[in-house]
Amino acid sequence: MRVRVADTAVELAEGATVLAAVRAAGQEVPTLCQDDRLAPVGSCRVCLVDVDGRVLPACTTPAADGMRVRPQEERARAAARRALELVAAGLPERALAVPADRSELVRCCALLGVFAGSFGALPHRRGTDHSHPYVKLDRDLCIACQRCVRMCAEVQGTFALDMGGRGFDTVVVPGAGEPWVDSPCVGCGGCVDSCPTGALSEPGLLDPSPLAGTTRTTCGYCGVGCSLDVH
């Protein structure tokens, strides 16, 4: 099928989405809840574009032959910006300090012109979980997109993560809410890789685990029991 994205015509296979059309045209649409490894859910609304005069989410809208897509149309961009501002309002301003190559949120803010003043409308006291040697959680940066939960369950097949809390305090929780290190997490890193904000990250060389030098732990992959030092 043939779709026109702004001034560019692109050929797409049946089943492609509007997001695929825009990318095929060499243009970028901000996305937050979208992960190419997972079926799209269309929950964040920051990918809104104009499709034949209607404002629709690019990630969940199927492309159709003869469709005309305008990613930069101002009404769609304004709606996407408002959706992103709502996400930002629930985050501390330091969410913008995460390097752009580790934060889709930061890249979305740059693309849609959302700045520091949109952040910090809510108090942030959810705390952190640095108990695991390979995964650290900053709950205040969690936007409850569920990408990590779905990555753990649908791609990794571990089912170590879930969502907990209510309302604005809804965040990812490991297992039954125990410290991350005591959960069924196998340390595959899929959750960290899918996190769009940096709420989940690896303890870095310059940011060692608080357990450094004090703990011996056991890799969760096979249960043979080879232990390793946490540095």
Contact residues: ligand FES, CB under 6 A: 31-34, 42-47, 57, 59
Which residue blocks in 25-174 are alpha helix, DSSP H? 74-89, 104-112, 147-150
How near is the Cβ of 83 to ligand FES at its closest, in Å?
A: 8
Residue 171 dihedral angles phi and psi, to the nearest 5°: -140, 165
- Is the Cβ of residue 143 or residue 185 nearer to ligand FES in the bound state? 143
What number of CA atoms fall less than 13 Å from residue 119's CA on the CB side?
18
Which of residues 83 and 141 has its CB atom nearest to ligand FES in the complex?
A: 83
Rounded Cα gap, residues 192 and 160, in angstroms: 13
CB 109 within 8 A of CB 87: no
Q: Is 151 exposed, middle or buried (0-12, 13-18, 19+ CB in 10 A)?
A: buried
- CB 225 to ligand FES: min, Å: 42
Residue with smaller CB distance to ligand FES, 113 or 213 = 113
Name the minimum Å distance from CB 218 to ligand FES: 38
Choice between 40 and 203, CB closer to ligand FES? 40
> Under 8 Å CB-to-CB from 123, ≥6 apart: which residues?
none
d(CA 197, CA 30): 13
Supply the minimum distance, in Å, between the C-beta of residue 32 and ligand FES: 5
Kindly state the smallest distance separating residue 19's Cβ from ligand FES, in Å.
7
Q: Which is nearer to ligand FES, 31 or 118 (CB)?
A: 31
Q: How far is CA 224 from the centre of its chain?
A: 33
